[in-house]
């Protein structure tokens, strides 16, 4: 398996607190991979290291073999890495169609731009909302719109930070279908996720992060069956899902 | 060319369709016919209003579209104004040099804006800090120019003259078939400025509805997402800042050429507040609203000045507070939204 | 001996610049640090304090009492402004800065209309003292001590009083503070009032050294801005060190090239600093400590 994304000994600490501690991670071309772990495991920090919002103290991030550790977020995006944030990152004052246009204008214009916007709106179940201001959408629709913007860039790698946060089970399932459809087109996907039903639906492999290190790795079934993984979640299981990550 | 013209309308500008362009053509026709009905002084005074509008449109681009608070428009206004003075006092007005001086003076402002903007935007300064730093820059420039009263402060033949300011520079002069055409604040200058204003307004409409404008409003709405769509946010912000500041510089040169003087107080705290008031009252989010609002507020301000400029400024200050509290989108934007809603309802009846 | 003379002269200049920056900025910094709001009418609160101080002193009050009256008057005006305008703009910091600019403009010109273009001042008290070949104003030394006293007082107010604890809680976790029964609106109003009162105090302290004109607030505003920008959001970790650094820059440039270069150098220093430290000195210190 060739890796599309790789990290080597990735260290990030805030003062004395090591949030990620020497993470060696690889994501294969065309793979769907989920990253799970209890609150404070370092998932969000790891994610920010991957997209370039944080710089690591030590270690490297490699994208298709190229060292991108020093690159700024927009430079990574231009290489084919696209992102969906945990809190829906949309342009609230602009219409839904306009949101997509801004994402698509990199490589399309004129009539083909309009056609692609219509295709995406249908794919995202947002055809009826094209002319509405994005800020007025429901939470789940905002998440889809942002996924739409992320895939407008025709990425080879899509990073999703809790894509189903705040969604109903039906919306979560529809999101899973979107992810699988993208993956069939050859897009590699790395998702941070809490919802195990969603993980089961999409993941080919799962990595468990715990106190800034990789704790376990395997298929969904292996991870679910792993008693040590269950143990680190104990006491977490009943905790509210949406507390802030470190 | 046709593709560019199609960009005159788009999501970033209010006012579209035949109704709007008919109104636009009508207003332009009235503006063209205006000198036949008004006396020379009034026409020159209207030309004076036109001088300021460029600066307001520039602020509209930076603040309304780009979401970056630039309170230093007057710094570029003053810089270009003084530059025009220094250049023309030294070289004179022959061979159309005044026009070259305008270009040079505006380029100087654009260059200064590029330098300042580099430090601000590449230093990731945003929000309120951007506002107070740009304001500090204009205040520092006012202080600097105010203390240049001594005879040692001269650039060639041009004395800076401290707080009293510089005067006596030639007005805009166009080389014409039979000798030079001097644009005194009168009908000729009025037409020249009207033409420049229409071109600037239309060009800005095209700019904000093109890709550049799309990215600019995206940055205003959510800079993090804009960066994650692969845009170098800093470059776009810098671009808008340079263009907007150059327009402030254009206002400065035109004002200096109009009145043949420029003083340090044109860069002071009160002067710096005025463009903010015009743009906020009209509606910073739209070029047309800014244009209409600026002319309306300027007219209102001048009407109030007969009671004394301090009274007019108190009214302006309170107007700004009331607009921010009650109509943050601006009065003209509110009016235009209302009109277009009426227009849409009308056929249904 | 000459060296000692020069050293003291520089120290005096540094202290003078430090005091001016701290006093000009402290009110602005309290409001910005605690509420995230930049108050562009800050200079007009300073002006208000100066006018009240001069008026009461000329009416027969001793100068310290007059200064206190100036601070209280500015504080009261600040609370009124918070109630009428600022309260409706929380969560819209960019609109707040614009609205307070309108207030500033109306206040300056309103004062001009009501009280005329200038007011007879009070002379600088306490005379001067001589050290070596230079002579120094004693009152300037009082101003330096006042700046230190204000910093100490603020430190105590925000760290050792019940109000301080509530204020910091409100700033850090507003919802939690509300849930615990803190009236956050009152905390914001009081904080804004304290900021205005500090500005008034500054106006009162500097009133004997300046011409009393409606636009005098503009003399302070640029220095206040740059100090807050360089300092960042924390008044103790930011404003004080920023004032020290900028004071040194200004004192050095002033003694080398004169007053004006001191001011312009200040601005250039600020623009260079923010390129390196976008979150100001307090951002740097907090990052190092975290």
SS3 assignment for B49-101: HHHHHHHHHHHHHHHHHCCCCCCCHHHHHHHHHHHHHHHHHHHCCHHHHHHHH
Least confident stretch, B152-161, B260-269, C106-115? B152-161
Please compute the mean of the pLDDT values over residues A223-239 and round it to a whole number.
68
Q: Residue A227: which region, alpha, beta or left (left: phi > 0; alpha: psi -120 to 50)?
A: alpha
Q: Enumerate the residues of chain C whose CB falls inside 8 A of the CB of residue B328.
A: 92, 95
pLDDT at A239 over 70: no
Report the Cα–Cα distance between both ends of chain C, in Å, rounded.
Answer: 46
Structural domain includes residue B21: no
B25: in domain = no
User: Is residue B72 a contact partner of residue B135, using CB atoms and an 8 Å limit?
Assistant: yes
Is there a domain that residue B88 lies in? yes
* Fold type of domain C2-285: ABC transporter involved in vitamin B12 uptake, BtuC (1.10.3470)
Q: A17 to chain C: nearest residue by CA?
A: C290
Kindly state whether residues B187 and B286 are assigned to the same domain.
Answer: no
Instruction: Determine what percent of chain B is predicted with pLDDT higher than 90.
Output: 42
Q: How far is A15 from chain C (nearest CA, A)?
A: 5
Q: Which residues contact A94 (CB under 8 A, 6 or more apart)?
A: A102, A133, A134, B11, B217, B218, B221
* Contact flag A106-B217 (C-beta cutoff 8 Å): no
Cβ neighbours of residue C55 under 8 Å, at least 6 residues apart?
Answer: C119
- Cβ neighbors of B104 (< 8 A, separation 6 or more) are B83, B87
> What confidence score (pLDDT) does residue C202 get?
92
CB C50 within 8 A of CB C205: no
The residue behind tokens 């014409």 is B176
- Tell me the pLDDT tens digit for each residue of C103-128: 999 999 888 888 877 778 777 787 77
Whether chain B has a CB inside 8 Å of the CB on C94: the answer is yes
**pLDDT, tens digit, 9 for 90 and up, residues B177-208:** 777 777 777 788 899 899 999 999 999 999 99
**B273 inside 8 A of chain C by CB:** yes
Are B216 and B106 part of one and the same domain? yes
Among residues B49, B154, B58, B166, the alpha carbon closest in space to that of B113 is found at B58
* Domain A3-87+157-233 = CATH 3.90.25.10: no
B300 lies in the same domain as B174: no
- pLDDT score, position C72: 93
Residue numbers of chain C with a pLDDT score lower than 70:
1, 233-235, 258-259, 278-290
Of B266, B284, B315, which residue sits at a domain end? Answer: B266
Helix axis angle, B40-59 to B187-209, nearest 10°: 20
CA atoms within 13 A on the CB side of C203: 38
Q: How confident is the model at residue B335 (pLDDT cuts 50, 70, 90)?
A: confident
B contact test, residue of C31, C109, C220 with most B CBs within 10 A:
C109
B6 touches chain A (CB under 8 A): no
What local confidence, expressed as pLDDT, does residue A234 receive?
Answer: 63
SS3 C117: coil
In chain A, the residue whose alpha carbon lies closest to the alpha carbon of C288 is A15
Phi, psi dihedral angles at B328 (to 5 degrees): -60, -20
Query: Residues A233, A237, A242, CA angle at the centre, nearest 5°?
Result: 105
Residue (of A208, A237, A183) closest to A35 by Cα position: A208
Backbone dihedral angles phi then psi of residue C39, each to the nearest 5 degrees: -100, 105
Q: What sign has the CA pseudo-torsion C83, C86, C89, C91?
A: negative
Q: Are residues B108 and B215 in the same domain?
A: yes
Residue B179 lies in a domain: yes
Chain A residues near residue C172 by CB distance under 8 angstroms = none
Q: What is the pLDDT of residue A244?
A: 40
Give the residue from B238, B266, B294 where a domain finishes.
B266
B150 domain-assigned: yes
Same-domain pairing of B126 and B254: yes
Same domain, B124 and B244: yes
Closest of A12, A45, A6 to residue A26, by C-alpha: A6
pLDDT of residue B249: 95
* Pairing mode, strands A157-161 and A81-84: parallel
For the CA atoms of B160, B164, B167, B172, what is the dihedral angle to 10 degrees? Answer: 100
Mean pLDDT, residues B133-161 taken together: 84
Q: Report the SS3 class of residue A153.
A: coil
Measure CB to CB from residue C102 to each of B139, B311, B320 and give the nearest one: B320
- Between residues A82 and B124, the one the model is more confident about: A82
> What pLDDT, on a 0 to 100 scale, did the predictor assign at position B97?
85
With both helix axes pointing from N to C terminus, report the angle between B127-146 and B97-122 in degrees, rounded to the nearest 10. Answer: 140
| Cα–Cα distance, B97 to A195 (Å, whole number) | 71
Please check whether residues B196 and B314 belong to one and the same domain: no
Q: Do B132 and C228 touch (CB under 8 A)?
A: yes
Distance from CA of C264 to the nearest CA of B (A): 6
Same domain? B88 vs B154: yes
Closest Cα of chain A to C289: distance in Å? 6
- Nearest Cα neighbor of B142 from B158, B156, B162, B128 is B162
B11 interface with A at CB cutoff 8 Å = yes
* Chains touching C by CB (3 or more pairs below 8 Å): A, B
How would DSSP label each residue in B149-205?
-STT-EETTEE--GGG-EE-PPPPEEEETTEEEE--TTHHHHHHHHHHHHHHHHHHH
Angle at C162 between CA C157 and CA C165, to 5 degrees: 80
Which helix (H) or strand (E) segment is B106 a member of?
Answer: helix B97-122
Among all residues of chain B, which has the CA nearest to that of A146? B225
Q: What are phi and psi of A216, to 5 degrees?
A: -160, 155
Most A CBs within 10 Å: which of C172, C289, C290, as the mutation test of the A interface?
A: C290
ipTM of the complex: 0.85
Considering the domain boundaries, does residue B35 fall inside one? no
Chain C contact set for A54 (CB, 8 A):
none
- Model confidence at B125: pLDDT above 90: no
B248 plus B343 within the same structural domain: no
Residue bearing the bigger pLDDT, A88 or B287: B287
Question: Are the CB atoms for B233 and B223 separated by under 8 Å?
Answer: yes
Last residue of a domain, one of B249, B266, B283: B266
Counting one residue from chain A and one from chain B, the pairs whose CB atoms sit within 8 A come to: 62
The yes-or-no verdict on residue B328 having pLDDT over 70 is yes
Distance between CA atoms of C225 and C25, rounded to whole angstroms? Answer: 7
Domain that holds residue B159: 51-266
Chains near B with 3+ CB pairs less than 8 A apart are A, C
Out of A3-7, B40-44, B45-49, C134-138, which region has the weakest mean confidence (pLDDT)?
C134-138
Residue matched to tokens 């200004």: C250
Least confidently predicted of A152-156, B62-66, C124-128? C124-128
pLDDT at C241: 81
Specify whether the CB–CB gap between B218 and B72 falls below 8 A: no
CA B210 from centroid of its chain's CA atoms = 21
CA–CA distance, C99 with B318 (Å, rounded to integer): 9
Q: How many structural domains comprise chain B?
A: 2
Supply the pTM of this predicted model. Answer: 0.88
pLDDT over 60 at A246, yes or no = no
Does B158 reside within a domain?
yes
pLDDT of residue C290: 39
Q: Which of residues 123-142 of B touch C (CB under 8 A)?
A: 123-125, 127-129, 131-133, 135-137, 139-140
* Count of beta carbons in the 10 Å neighbourhood of residue A154: 13
State the Cα–Cα distance between residues B205 and C197, nearest whole angstrom. 47
What's the helix, strand, coil split of chain A in %, to 5? 40, 25, 35
Beta strand pairing call for C128-131 and C134-137: antiparallel
Please give the pLDDT value at position B295: 93
State how far the Cα of B134 lies from the Cα of B131, in Å rounded to an integer.
5
Do residues A27 and A157 touch, judged by C-beta distance below 8 A? yes
For chain A, say whether B104 makes contact (Cβ under 8 Å): no
Q: What is the pLDDT of residue B348?
A: 40
Shortest CA gap A168–chain C (Å): 27
Question: Considering only A169-178, B89-98, B234-243, which range has the smallest mean pLDDT?
Answer: B89-98
For residue A241, the model assigns a pLDDT of 42
- Residue of chain B whose Cα is closest to the Cα of A75: B230
A67–chain B nearest CA distance, Å = 18
- Residue A242, pLDDT > 50, answer no
Q: Are residues B224 and B298 in the same domain?
A: no
End-to-end CA distance of chain B: 39
User: pLDDT tens digits, residue range A10-46?
Assistant: 888 876 677 778 888 888 888 898 988 887 778 888 8
């Amino acid at each position: 398996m060739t890796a599309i994304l790789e990290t080597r000994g990735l260290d990030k600490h805030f003062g004395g607190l090591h949030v990620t501690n020497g993470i060696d991670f690889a994501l294969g071309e065309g793979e769907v991979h989920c990253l799970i772990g209890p609150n404070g495991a370092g998932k969000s920090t790891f994610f920010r290291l991957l997209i370039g919002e944080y710089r690591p103290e030590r270690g490297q991030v490699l994208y298709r073999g190229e060292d991108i550790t020093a690159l700024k977020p927009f430079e990574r995006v231009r290489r084919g890495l696209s992102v969906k944030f945990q809190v829906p990152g949309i342009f609230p004052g602009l219409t839904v169609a306009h949101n997509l246009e801004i994402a698509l204008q990199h490589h399309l214009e004129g009539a083909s731009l309009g056609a692609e916007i219509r295709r995406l709106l249908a794919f995202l179940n947002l055809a009826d909302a094209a002319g509405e201001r994005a800020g007025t959408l429901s939470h789940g629709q905002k998440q889809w719109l942002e996924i739409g913007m992320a895939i407008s860039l025709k990425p080879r790698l899509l990073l999703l930070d809790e894509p189903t946060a705040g969604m109903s089970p039906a919306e979560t399932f529809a999101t899973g279908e979107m992810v699988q459809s993208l993956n069939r087109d050859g897009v590699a996907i790395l998702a941070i996720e809490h919802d195990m039903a969603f993980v089961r639906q999409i993941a080919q492999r799962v990595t468990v992060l715990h106190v800034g290190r990789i704790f376990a790795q395997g298929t969904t079934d292996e991870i679910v069956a792993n008693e040590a993984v269950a143990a680190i979640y104990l006491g977490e299981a009943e905790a509210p899902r949406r507390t802030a990550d470190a | 060319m046709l593709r560019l013209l199609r960009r005159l309308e788009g999501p970033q500008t209010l006012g579209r369709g035949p109704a709007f362009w008919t109104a636009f053509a009508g207003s332009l026709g009235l503006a063209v016919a205006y000198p036949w009905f008004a006396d020379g002084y009034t026409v020159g005074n209207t030309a004076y209003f036109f001088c300021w509008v460029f600066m307001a449109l520039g602020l509209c681009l930076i603040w309304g579209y780009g979401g970056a608070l630039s309170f230093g428009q007057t710094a570029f206004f003053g810089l270009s104004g003084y530059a025009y003075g220094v250049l023309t006092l030294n070289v004179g007005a022959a061979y159309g040099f005044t026009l070259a001086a305008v270009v040079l003076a505006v380029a100087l402002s654009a260059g200064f804006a590029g330098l300042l903007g580099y430090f601000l935007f590449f230093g990731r300064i945003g929000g309120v800090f951007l506002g107070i730093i740009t304001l500090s820059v204009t205040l520092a420039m006012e202080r600097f120019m105010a203390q240049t009263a001594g005879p040692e402060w001269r650039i060639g033949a041009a004395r800076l003259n401290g707080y009293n300011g510089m005067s006596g520079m030639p007005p805009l002069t166009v080389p014409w078939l039979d000798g030079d055409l001097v644009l005194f604040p009168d009908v000729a200058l009025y037409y020249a400025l009207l033409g420049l204003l229409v071109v600037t307004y239309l060009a800005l409409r095209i700019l904000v509805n093109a890709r550049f404008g799309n990215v600019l409003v995206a940055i205003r709405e959510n800079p993090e997402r804009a960066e994650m769509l692969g845009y170098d946010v800093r470059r776009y912000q810098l671009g808008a800042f340079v263009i907007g500041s150059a327009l402030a510089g254009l206002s400065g040169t035109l004002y200096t050429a109009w009145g043949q003087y420029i003083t340090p107080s044109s860069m002071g705290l009160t002067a710096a507040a005025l463009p903010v008031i015009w743009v906020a009252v009209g509606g910073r989010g739209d070029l047309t609203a800014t244009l209409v609002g600026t002319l309306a507020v300027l007219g209102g301000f001048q009407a109030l000045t007969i009671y004394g400029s301090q009274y007019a400024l108190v009214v302006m200050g309170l107007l700004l507070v009331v607009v921010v509290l009650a109509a943050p989108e601006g009065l003209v934007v509110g009016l235009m939204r209302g009109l277009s809603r009426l227009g849409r309802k009308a056929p249904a009846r | 001996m000459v060296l000692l003379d020069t050293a003291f002269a520089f120290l005096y200049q540094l202290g003078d610049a430090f005091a001016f920056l701290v006093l000009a900025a402290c009110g602005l910094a309290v409001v910005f640090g605690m509420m995230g709001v930049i108050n562009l009418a800050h200079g007009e609160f300073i002006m208000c304090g100066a006018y009240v101080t001069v008026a009461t002193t000329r009416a027969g009050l001793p100068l310290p009492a007059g200064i206190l009256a100036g601070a209280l008057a500015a504080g009261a005006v600040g609370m009124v402004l918070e109630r009428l305008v600022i309260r409706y703009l929380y969560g819209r910091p960019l609109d707040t800065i614009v609205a307070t600019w309108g207030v500033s403009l109306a206040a300056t010109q309103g004062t001009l209309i009501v009280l005329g273009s200038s007011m007879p001042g009070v002379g600088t008290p306490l005379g001067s003292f001589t050290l070596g070949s230079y002579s120094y104003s004693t009152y300037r030394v009082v101003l330096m001590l006042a700046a230190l006293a204000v910093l100490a007082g603020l430190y105590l107010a925000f760290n050792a009083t019940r109000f301080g604890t509530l204020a910091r809680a409100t700033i850090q976790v507003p919802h939690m503070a509300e849930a615990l029964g803190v009236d956050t609106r009152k905390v914001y109003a009081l904080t804004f009032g304290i900021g205005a009162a500090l500005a008034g105090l500054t106006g009162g302290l500097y009133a004997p050294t300046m011409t009393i004109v409606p636009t005098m607030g503009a003399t302070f505003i640029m220095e206040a801005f740059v100090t807050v920008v360089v300092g960042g959001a924390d008044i103790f970790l930011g404003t004080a060190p920023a004032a020290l650094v900028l004071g040194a820059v200004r004192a050095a440039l002033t003694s080398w090239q004169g007053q004006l270069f001191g001011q312009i150098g200040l601005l250039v220093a600020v623009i260079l600093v923010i390129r390196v430290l976008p979150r100001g000195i307090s951002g740097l210190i907090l990052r190092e400590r975290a």
